[in-house]
Amino acid sequence: MKKYVLFTLALLALIGCQNTNTETNQDIVYEYGIPVDSFDIVKGQIKKGQTLSGLFTQLGCNRKCTNQLCLIPDSILNIRNIRAGDEYSAFYTQTEKPQLLYVVYHSSLVEHYVFHLEDSLHIHTFTKPVRTETKIAKAHIESSLWNAIADNNLNLQLALDLSEIYAWSVDFFGLQKNDGFIVYYDELYVDSTSVGIGKIHSAKFLHNGKTFYAFNYENDDIKGFWDEEGRSVRKAFLKAPLKFSRISSGFTYKRKHPVYKTVRPHTGVDYAAPLGTPVMSIGNGVVIQKGYKGGGGNTVKIKHNSTYSTAYLHLSKYGKGLKVGSRVEQGQVIGYVGSTGASTGAHLDFRVWKNNKPINPLTMESPSAEPIPSKYLSDFHVLRDSLRTKIDLEL
């Protein structure tokens, strides 16, 4: 009986020790695989011109480990690509003579490189998990899409994504006060910090009294954004050849030329934009002219089909590899905004011809791409109806 009692007491003591250890382990805070509460942490940014070996020496790393930095394979980390402004964390022992045991290089909010320095150097990567939060955002537009996004404290990537989705249907250079949008989308987070926009599920854009829907639908055969009837929001031509600018002069047959000071036709649209702004082809086609064209300066002209041609004037330079006969795709950069030729400042003069007759680019109607095949329409309608409930809200 005595032996049994002693055995029981010993067993209970052992269990108590195990429980204590478990509770202690649960209290330890780990980050990047390091028990961070066991160290003093020094944080900083890499300075301009500073190398990784220079940083490690500054932090107190021993020479043996510092010399081994050059042995890290580029496939793991190219130490020559360390950027000024990137952040690091140095972990020191909480002892009378602190010893540097770890350095973490934060190449982004997601990717981190952990250097172990206790004996010899070795490295492992640590990827922080990215979580998805589905959101609904809406805003009125007072001046521009970009300002509306910023004024409502939304991720600025939304402006880029919405401008791409609606590049064929919304004139972002002619937005009106009280235009607006509602969008149902995924935002990506690392810890509590937004790191970007994920999938946009659906959106509604109000512009010039019209409502433009866009529903994200895809299967093994098709993918893209479609309107409520299953028509592609993509069209043969983009609404404009560049992003986030303003119209400085419209299509007219009576304009006083700013250089020649005479009244003459201006059969195009001028977009004021900073020097070097990328200029895109509004549609697929073939380059039929490239070169300096008098008052038009550096010019590219593209034939899209038997009906439509476009031209891009006053360019500062041309797109890489562009030449007469080159095939270009919709959205491809064919040049950059400049002020060559008869020009008083950086801008793009954009022109469109239909059956060899100049037309106003701002009023040009463009045919849509192929709609959703009929065999997928019922499936699309189910998704559409579900998504529509998310965005049919009052602005």
What digits encode the pLDDT tens for the residues 191-242? 999 999 999 999 999 998 899 999 999 999 999 999 999 999 988 899 889 8
Answer yes or no: are the C-beta atoms of 345 and 361 closer than 8 Å. no
Tokens of 33: 């695989």
- Successive 10-residue mean pLDDT values, the chain, 395 residues: 41 42 62 92 94 93 90 89 93 94 94 91 92 96 91 93 90 84 97 93 94 96 95 89 62 44 64 90 94 94 90 96 95 95 89 90 81 96 96 87
What is the structure's pLDDT at 245? 54
- Cα–Cα distance, 51 to 82 (Å, whole number): 7
pLDDT, position 370: 85
Q: What is the per-residue pLDDT for 261?
A: 47
Superfamily of the domain at 246-363? Glucose Permease (Domain IIA) (2.70.70.10)
Domain ranges of the chain: 32-127, 131-226, 246-363
Tell me what pLDDT residue 247 has.
54
Q: How would DSSP label each residue in 41-79? A: EEEEEPPTT--HHHHHHHHT--HHHHHGGGGS-TTT--G
CATH architecture of 131-226: Roll (3.10)
| Predicted pLDDT at 265 | 58
| Shared fold status for 32-127 and 131-226 | yes
pTM: predicted TM-score of the whole model, two decimal places: 0.68
Alpha-carbon separation of residue 110 from 52, 179, 189 (angstroms): 20, 36, 9
Q: How far apart are CA 107 and CA 45, in angstroms?
A: 11
Pick the closest to residue 242 from 349, 387, 379, 100 (CA basis): 349
**CA distances for 220 relative to 160, 230, 314, 376, angstroms:** 26, 17, 44, 11
Cα–Cα distance, 121 to 119 (Å, whole number): 7
Is the CATH number 2.40.50.100 carried by domain 32-127?
no
Token pair, residue 59, equals 């932090």
Contact present, 163 and 374 (Cβ < 8 Å) = no
Count the Cβ atoms, other than its own, within 10 Å of residue 114.
19
Q: What is the pLDDT of residue 21?
A: 42
Looking at residue 244, its pLDDT comes to 55
pLDDT at 297: 95
